[in-house]
């Protein structure tokens, strides 16, 4: 097992790379297969730890699961358990998608409270609101989410206090087995929500409006297995676009969905980066100094919070002062300390990072404090002249498929050591 991701930076990335399937779609679609009355085949899954974690969870529950070469075959008919040990679900935020799916299949579920990246308080009050609105009884006694279908379990109006990704997906996963109509108001619109809704529809569910802030589900109908391929990863695509620009290279990304990247593309163009796209291809070129910007993270289709960290890393060498405001999570700037160790000049005032551009970052041994902080470290190391070692690679392995191979294929000197 490696301990570090070693990067010799200071050279441009050039060439062609294909993006992988979406982590945040995969970790919702895999548990959704629990709701089917026959086997599912899910394709284009990324080769990342969170997917292996879900394979092990489904096997533990009694499903018949095979995962190889990006394809997972799930036969949920053998599932005979509805509770899980902490060690199986602890580190993954997405483990709570097991609550509505196991409750849907077996009538109740007992899932330890989710883990996930330490980027702030990760409450699940809106998920609980969604499930209880449909008539489930939910409590979190002893750190376990206990959910039981009530006698009058059925469709209802659900009003989310904020467009929470997890609560939107959890309510959709619960509503497809709740007889009658459910309407989710103030729903989140991220691409992985639409992908999850499309997968449910491919199983015979009646879901309308995913991608808008009102999603209608007519539930209570049997769901059959289906073959489905998850969408390309929006955040991996964005991370690679930023890495290309930060290294002042010329990179063409294949297998993307450019419309998912519009908020990032707009910011890169503002900085003076050349971004062009056609069909499923995005080309990113940059040279010389880049302009500073002001940035505010928003729910989709605004600028994604998951790209705030890698883009801020790139802004450390922009020619001037940039302002980055994080509106989604309350402590998603912890990684800034590590950037400072590479020479970055950043002040954090409440939810805004003020980045004063410097000529160059210098290499250092740094540590990723969460998945996308790992992306920020990678971007910074690619810009620094010399060898940096990035610790905390367990986070990077959770969400970026073979990022070392991808960067090496673009001429980067990157290896797990």
- Which residues belong to the active site? 117
- At closest approach, how far in Å is the CB of 357 from ligand EPZ? 26
Which of 19, 26, 27, 173 touches ligand EPZ (CB under 6 A)? 27
CA distance 130 to 48: 29
CA distance 86 to 97: 15
Binding of residue 372 to ligand EPZ (CB under 6 A)? yes
Among the candidate windows 39-47, 122-130, 197-205, 354-362, which touches ligand EPZ by CB under 6 A? 122-130
Binding of residue 350 to ligand EPZ (CB under 6 A)? no
Partners of 349 in beta bridges = 352
Q: Is 112 helix (H, G, I), strand (E, B) or coil?
A: strand
CA distance 395 to 87: 16
When the beta carbons of 167 and 324 are compared against ligand EPZ, the nearer one is 167
- At closest approach, how far in Å is the CB of 370 from ligand EPZ? 7
- At closest approach, how far in Å is the CB of 347 from ligand EPZ? 22
CA distance 119 to 330: 7
CA distance 386 to 312: 20
Residues in Cβ contact with 405 at an 8 Å cutoff, skipping those fewer than 6 apart = none
Binding of residue 120 to ligand EPZ (CB under 6 A)? yes
Which of 20, 82, 256, 305 touches ligand EPZ (CB under 6 A)? 305
CA distance 22 to 369: 21
Return the ∠ at Cα 297 (arms to 92 and 326), rounded to 5°. 75
When the beta carbons of 195 and 250 are compared against ligand EPZ, the nearer one is 195
Among the candidate windows 72-80, 117-125, 249-257, 258-266, which touches ligand EPZ by CB under 6 A? 117-125
Sign, CA torsion 288/233/303/403:
negative
Binding of residue 153 to ligand EPZ (CB under 6 A)? no
Among the candidate windows 143-151, 165-173, 221-229, 400-408, which touches ligand EPZ by CB under 6 A? 165-173
- Sites of contact with ligand EPZ (CB under 6 A): 24, 27, 93-94, 117, 120-127, 162, 164-167, 188, 190, 305-306, 328-329, 371-372, 399
């Amino acid at each position: 097992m490696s301990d570090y991701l070693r990067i010799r930076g200071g050279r441009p990335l050039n060439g062609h790379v294909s993006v992988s399937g979406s982590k945040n779609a995969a970790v919702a679609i895999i548990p959704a297969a629990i709701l089917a009355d026959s086997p599912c085949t899910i394709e284009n899954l990324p080769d990342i730890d969170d997917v292996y974690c879900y394979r092990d969870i489904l096997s533990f529950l009694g499903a018949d699961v095979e995962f190889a070469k990006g394809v997972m075959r799930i036969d949920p008919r053998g599932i005979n358990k509805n509770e899980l040990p902490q060690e199986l679900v602890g580190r993954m935020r997405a483990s709570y998608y097991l609550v509505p799916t196991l409750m849907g299949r077996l009538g109740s579920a007992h899932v330890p409270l989710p883990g996930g990246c330490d980027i702030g308080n990760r409450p699940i009050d809106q998920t609980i609101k969604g499930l209880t609105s449909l008539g489930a009884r939910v409590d979190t006694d002893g750190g376990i989410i206990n959910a039981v279908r009530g006698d009058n379990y059925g469709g209802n109006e659900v009003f989310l206090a904020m467009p929470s990704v997890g609560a939107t997906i959890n309510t959709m996963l619960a509503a497809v087995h709740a007889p009658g109509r459910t309407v989710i108001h103030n729903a989140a619109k991220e691409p992985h929500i639409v992908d999850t809704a499309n997968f449910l529809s491919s199983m015979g569910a009646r879901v309308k409006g995913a991608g808008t802030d009102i999603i209608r589900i007519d539930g209570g109908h049997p769901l059959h297995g289906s073959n489905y391929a998850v969408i390309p990863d929006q955040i991996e695509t964005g991370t690679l676009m930023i890495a290309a620009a930060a290294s002042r290279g010329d990179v063409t990304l294949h297998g993307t969905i450019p419309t998912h990247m519009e908020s990032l593309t707009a910011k890169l163009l503002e900085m003076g980066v050349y971004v062009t796209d056609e069909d499923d291809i995005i080309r990113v070129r940059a040279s010389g100094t880049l302009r500073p910007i002001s940035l505010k993270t928003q729910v989709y289709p605004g600028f994604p919070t998951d790209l705030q960290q890698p883009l801020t890393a790139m802004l450390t060498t922009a020619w001037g002062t940039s302002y980055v405001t994080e509106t989604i999570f309350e402590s998603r700037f912890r990684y800034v300390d590590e950037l400072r160790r590479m020479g970055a000049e950043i002040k954090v005032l409440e939810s805004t990072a003020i980045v004063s551009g410097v000529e160059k970052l210098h290499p250092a041994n740094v540590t990723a404090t969460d998945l996308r902080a790992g992306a920020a470290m990678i971007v910074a190391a690619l810009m620094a002249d010399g060898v940096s070692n990035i610790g905390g690679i367990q986070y990077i392995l959770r969400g970026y498929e073979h990022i070392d191979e991808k960067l090496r294929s673009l001429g980067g000197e990157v290896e797990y050591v």
